[in-house]
Structure 1
Amino acid sequence: MSDGNRFLLSAQSINKSFGPRSARRQVLFDVSADVRPGECLAVIGGSGSGKSTLTRIMLGLESADSGTVTYGGQSIAGGRRSPGVQALRRESGLVFQDPFSSLDPRWRVAQSVAEPLVLQRHDLGKAEIAERVAAALTMVGLEPATFLNRYPVDLSGGQAQRVVIARAIINEPKVILADEPMSAIDVAARIQILDTFAAIRETRRETALIMVSHDLGVVQHIADRILVLHDGRVEEEGSTAEVLGSPQSDYTRQLIEAASL
Structure 2
Amino acid sequence: MQPASDGALLQVERLSRTFGHGRHLVRAVDEVSFEMQPGEIACVVGESGSGKSTLAMVLLRLIPPTGGRIVFGGRDVTYLRRRAELRAYWRDVQAVFQDPFSSFNQFMTVERVLGRTLGLEERRLSRQERAERMAWALERVGLDPKGVLGKYSHELSGGERQRVMIARALVVRPRLLVADEPTTMVDASSRATILNLLLDLREQYGMSILFITHDVSLATYVSDTLLVMYQGRIVERGDVERVTKQPEHPYTRRLFADAFTFARRG
Q: Which runs of 5+ in 2 are unaligned?
A: none
Q: Secondary structure at the match of 2:18?
A: strand
**TM-score where L is the length of structure 1:** 0.92
Q: Secondary structure at the match of 1:183?
A: coil
Which position in structure 2 is the counterpart of 1:242?
A: 242
> CA contact under 8 A between 2:13 and 2:68: conserved in structure 1?
yes
The question of 1:110 aligning with 2:111 is answered yes
> CA contact under 8 A between 1:42 and 1:219: conserved in structure 2?
yes
Which position in structure 1 is the counterpart of 2:175?
A: 174
> CA contact under 8 A between 1:2 and 1:12: conserved in structure 2?
no
Shift of 1:198: 1.5
Give the counterpart letter for 1:212 in structure 2.
Answer: I
1:68-83 matches, within 5 Å, as: 68-81=69-82
Identical pairs, percent: 35
Which position in structure 1 is the counterpart of 2:195?
A: 194
Shift of 1:254: 1.8
Shift of 1:250: 2.2
Change (3 A) 1:214 1:19: same
Q: RMSD of the alignment, in Å?
A: 1.9
1:58-99 CA deviation, whole Å, 9 max, x = no partner?
A: 222222211111111111133322886453222111100111
> CA contact under 8 A between 2:91 and 2:120: conserved in structure 1?
no
1:133-168 CA deviation, whole Å, 9 max, x = no partner?
A: 111111111122221111101111111000000000
Shift of 1:191: 0.6
CA separation in 1, counterparts of 2:176 and 2:256? 27
CA separation in 2, counterparts of 1:101 and 1:257? 33
The question of 1:51 aligning with 2:52 is answered yes
Q: Secondary structure at the match of 2:29?
A: strand
Structure 1 residue ranges (4+ consecutive) displaced by more than 3 angstroms after TM superposition: 82-87
CA separation in 1, counterparts of 2:153 and 2:159? 11
Give the counterpart letter for 1:208 in structure 2.
Answer: S
1:206-225 CA deviation, whole Å, 9 max, x = no partner?
A: x2110101122222221110
**TM-score where L is the length of structure 2:** 0.91
Q: Secondary structure at the match of 1:120?
A: coil
Q: Which runs of 5+ in 1 are unaligned?
A: none
Which position in structure 1 is the counterpart of 2:39?
A: 38
CA separation in 1, counterparts of 2:189 and 2:233? 34
> CA contact under 8 A between 1:28 and 1:233: conserved in structure 2?
yes
Greater shift, 188-197 or 3-12, is seen at: 3-12
